[in-house]
Amino acid sequence: MSLRDTIRIMVVDDMSVSRALITQSLEEIGITKYQTENDAKAALGKIVAAPVHLVLCDMNMPGMNGLELLHALRTNKTTARIGFILITGQPTPELLRIGQELGLNNLIRKPFTTATMKASIERVVGPL
């Protein structure tokens, strides 16, 4: 069983289009164990209840944004070491700096392709 069959991913994005695009790419890669949430707070609850390996999360969302979710995960003992990839259209230096301090695992630049998404995930978890 390769990693792509076992890895569990949580996709968090408030826009259904983005979720659809992300999951489409995931399926093209061959990852099937993913779940989606449209709200970071709800995602946090789900992740705490049933941990995943990796979170793919949009930056700009109402309520709790991507980095806030990362912060929340990192400060919770049980979820502190979950992989976290932020998806953003504007990777400003400020955002990169904060991401690094919070232990962000990687960053995917919007718009992404299946290839760039795969590369970004592989740089975190190794070859799929």
Partner 1 sequence: MGNPILDTFFEETEELLESLAEGLESMQGAEFDKETVNSVFRAVHSIKGGAGAFKLNELVSFAHSFETVLDEVRSETLELTPQIMHTLIRSADHLTDLVDAARSGRSMPEDVSAGFLSALQACLGEGKIEAVDAWDNFEFAAVTLDIAPIEEPGAEAEGEAAPAGFSIAFKPHAALYANGHEPALLFAALADLGQMTTTVDLSAVPEWDDLNPTEPYLSWTIALRTDESEIAVQEVFEFVHGLCDLVISPLTDPTPPAKAEPVPEAKAAPAPAPQAAAPTAPAGPSATAEAPKAEAPTMSDRAAAAVAALKKPEKGDDAEAKAPKATLRVDLDRVDRLINAVGELIINQAMIAQRLQDMTSTRDDDLVMHIEDYRLLARDIQEGVMAIRAQPVKSLFQRMSRIVREAADATGKMAELVTSGEGTEVDKTVVERLADPLTHMIRNAVDHGLENREARAASGKPAMGTIKLSASHRSGSVIITVRDDGAGLNRPKILEIAKRKNLVAQDAELSDSEIDQLLFMPGFSTAATVSNLSGRGVGLDVVRNAVTALGGRISISTTPGQGTEFTIMLPLTLAVMDGMVVTVGGQTLVVPITSIIETIRPQPSDLHRIGTDETLLSIRGRMIPVVDVSRALGFPSPEITGSPLLLLVESEGLGECALVVDGVQDQRQVVIKSLESNFGSVPGVSAATVLGDGRIALILDPDAVAGGRSGYHMPNILSNAGRTAYANV
The site for partner 1 (CB under 8 A) is made up of 3, 6-8, 14-18, 20-21, 24, 39, 41, 48-54, 60-63, 65, 67-68, 71, 74-75, 77-83, 89-92, 94-107, 109-112, 120, 123-126
Asked if residue 111 has a cis previous peptide bond (ω within 30° of 0), the answer is: yes
Residue 28 CA to residue 115 CA, distance in Å, equals: 9
Question: Nearest Cα to 85, choosing from 110, 62, 63, 64?
Answer: 110
| Terminal Cα distance for the chain, rounded | 10
The answer for residues whose C-beta is within 8 angstroms of residue 50's C-beta and 6 or more apart is: none
